[in-house]
Amino acid sequence: MKKIIILTIALFFGIAGMAYLYFSKLGNENNAKDLALQSATNNAAIVFSFQNDKGFYEIIQAQNLIQQVLGEDKIQLLIQLKDLIINDNALNKFIQDQYIYVSVLPDTNKNLNFLITVQLKADEDLNKFNQVIKSKNYITPLQNGQYSLKLQDSVSAYANLNDRVITLSTSLKLINDAAIRLAENPFTDYIKENNAVSRSALAQIYINYNHVPLVLKNILVGKLNGSIEVLNRQNAFASLSYNFSKERILFNGSTTLKDDSSYLKLFEQSAAQVTNIQNILPDNTANYAIYAFDDYKTWFKSLKTIRIKANQITQADQTISSIKNDYRTDLNLIFPLYAKNQFATFQLSTSEKLGAIQLTNGEKVKQLLFDVSTDYSDEIKVFKSANILQVYFGEAFKNFSKPFYAIIDNYLIVANNASTVASFLISYKNNRLMIQNPIYMDAMNQIATTSNISYYVDLRKSQNILRDNLSSKYYKHFMADSGLKTFDTFCYQLIADKNKFISNVLLNKYVQQPIPDSLSIR
């Protein structure tokens, strides 16, 4: 009996020891893998991830749309690096089947640049890798584990090898920044959480919206505004899988909001809706943001909760109270009763900005707003008090303080100029609408029919707007035949799914279908 007890104790400690060694090794391997990810995510707004596999390069090469988005310079750089490293069997064996991360980062002189990060395979000998590097005459050692790579056309790239992690870029600044790894980085944790889900995808793109403004600062001349202004202060992450297509660029995945006070959080718990407010938008609409939910009263209650957390509820209450005292109009008996389940902000190709709110009874609302409005014309009115719409519809309408407005067919249309409202009414009454555009309808056919938030940009009708807002370098790329000129539509769709949004990102090219020859049909 005593021997059995001793053997049992020995067996227990033996198993415990083996388990400790196994999980320690597993933990060390995971930590080693995390080092590459930590370097890739440090300060990055966008991280593109794919497995270093021959099949990936063959598929990507078959579609030239990604090349158009990145531009000739960046594509030529990636091609040269692929020729020097991936196509070199002696080098590639050390990173075969490893995940490669391509990070998009702001660089000096208002430029965006790439940082490429990859982890050496755990079973490969580091000394042998160093020997292979020394045998390459286009690689020159510098200092502190850094190297210079001579590319074609007198272009140089730099690499760094540290803790079996290779970082590579044409910018030494990005190389040095990547060496400062953050042990605690929410973006790194988010990618690790979503990596298992995305392993079957051809490629994955991860977005850190906290750093998106830093990237846009290098692209835009002024501030982030318009329909995408809401992205300016978003503590959010997205994980999107690439769907191969020769006709369009499409990513599907999810977006997670980390900030409970985010305006977009108001739409997270609502069922996705079939929207129709886009049906009234003019044919010269350049971009829009559409917001939808299942019930306005529930949505407005959530809006008030967010304002309480942000200490903004007093300001909204004061606006409602002062209008009640000054004009004997209780706004709480108007919008909470007659607002429907969707609204939109949109911009015309002329840069004019408008808003639209769907109502259940437009004629009744027109009567109830009589005392808080001044007539500009028979159809167009203007609010006497400021911030009415922001009180009831939040951040989307903050730029319409005392707008001109018209109510037509159960829609409240607002703009900061009376002429803009008049222009809308002319288009609407003459049926000159965006939904008649086959380019727009083709793009809508590629994404879900229900959503909570939809961002849309007609790239062709936005040319003048982008010319005024993009730096010359990026506008030139936007207008180039080898760049984005042949694309016509960008869409970003968010569909509520418990505590996150199912997300679709589309960059579309409309291909007109040939009209069949009726004479050839028998």
Position 282, amino acid:
P
The pLDDT value recorded for residue 109 is: 77
Least confident of 230-234, 386-390, 431-435: 230-234
Contact 289, 396 (CB under 8 A): yes
C-alpha dist (Å) from residue 102 to 37, 390, 411: 10, 40, 45
Residue carrying the six token digits 């909470």:
336
249 strand-pairing partners: 507
CB distance 478 to 484 below 8 Å: yes
Q: Give how far the C-alpha of residue 488 lies from the chain's centroid of Cα atoms, to the nearest Å.
A: 18
Q: How many CA atoms lie within 13 A of 503 on its CB side?
A: 23
Q: What percent of the chain has pLDDT over 90?
A: 64
pLDDT score, position 471: 87
Write out pLDDT tens, residues 32-54.
557 999 999 988 999 999 999 98
Angle between helices 186-198 and 2-41 (to 10 degrees): 110
Q: What average pLDDT does the segment 171-177 reach?
A: 91
d(CA 431, CA 32): 61
Exposure string over 12-47, b if 16+ CB within 10 A, otherwise e: eeeeeeeeeeeeeeeeeeeeebbbbbbbbbbbbbbb
CB within 8 Å of 248: residues ≥ 6 apart: 65, 446, 506, 507, 508, 509
Query: Which among 274, 403, 302 has a CA at the least distance from the CA of 412?
Result: 403
pLDDT in tens, 336-355: 999 999 999 999 999 999 99
Confidence label for 477 from pLDDT (cuts 50, 70 and 90): confident
- CA–CA separation, 468 and 472 (whole Å): 9
> How many Cα atoms are found within 13 Å in the side-chain-facing hemisphere of 212?
18
pLDDT in tens, 387-407: 999 999 999 999 999 999 999
Average pLDDT, stretch 301-305?
95
**CA-CA distance, 500 to 258, in Å (whole number)?**
10
| Per-residue pLDDT at 515 | 56
Token couple for 515:
């009209």
State mean pLDDT over 160-167: 93
CB 415 within 8 A of CB 344: no
Q: What is the mean pLDDT of residues 419-439?
A: 97
Residue length of the chain: 522
Residue matched to tokens 């505004």 = 225
Distance CA 323, CA 332 (A): 11
Q: Supply the pLDDT for residue 226.
A: 58
The per-residue pLDDT for 294 is 95
pLDDT in tens, 71-108: 878 888 888 889 889 999 999 999 999 999 999 999 88
Specify the 3-state DSSP secondary structure of 479: helix
Report the pLDDT averaged over residues 173-186: 86
pTM: 0.88
Pair of tokens at residue 459: 């790239």
Q: Is the dihedral of CA 41, 47, 49, 54 positive or negative?
A: negative
User: How far is residue 422's CA from residue 419's CA, in Å, rounded to a whole number?
Assistant: 5
Q: With beta carbons less than 8 A apart as the criterion, state whether 358 and 344 touch.
A: no
State residue 89's pLDDT score.
94
426 three-state secondary structure: helix
Tell which residue, 40, 202, 184, 201, has the closest CA to residue 118: 40
Structure tokens given for 75: 């594509």
DSSP 63: -
**Quick check: 300 pLDDT over 50?**
yes
Listed residue (388, 314, 306, 321) closest to 355, CA to CA: 388
Residue type, 280: I
User: What is the dihedral angle through the alpha carbons of 255, 259, 262, 266, rounded to the nearest 10 degrees?
Assistant: 70
Confidence class for position 21, pLDDT limits 50, 70, 90 = very low
Average pLDDT, the chain: 87
What Å distances lie between residue 99 and 94, 126, 513, CA to CA? 12, 18, 39
At residue 15 the predicted structure's pLDDT band, cuts being 50, 70 and 90, is: very low
| pLDDT computed for residue 520 by the predictor | 45
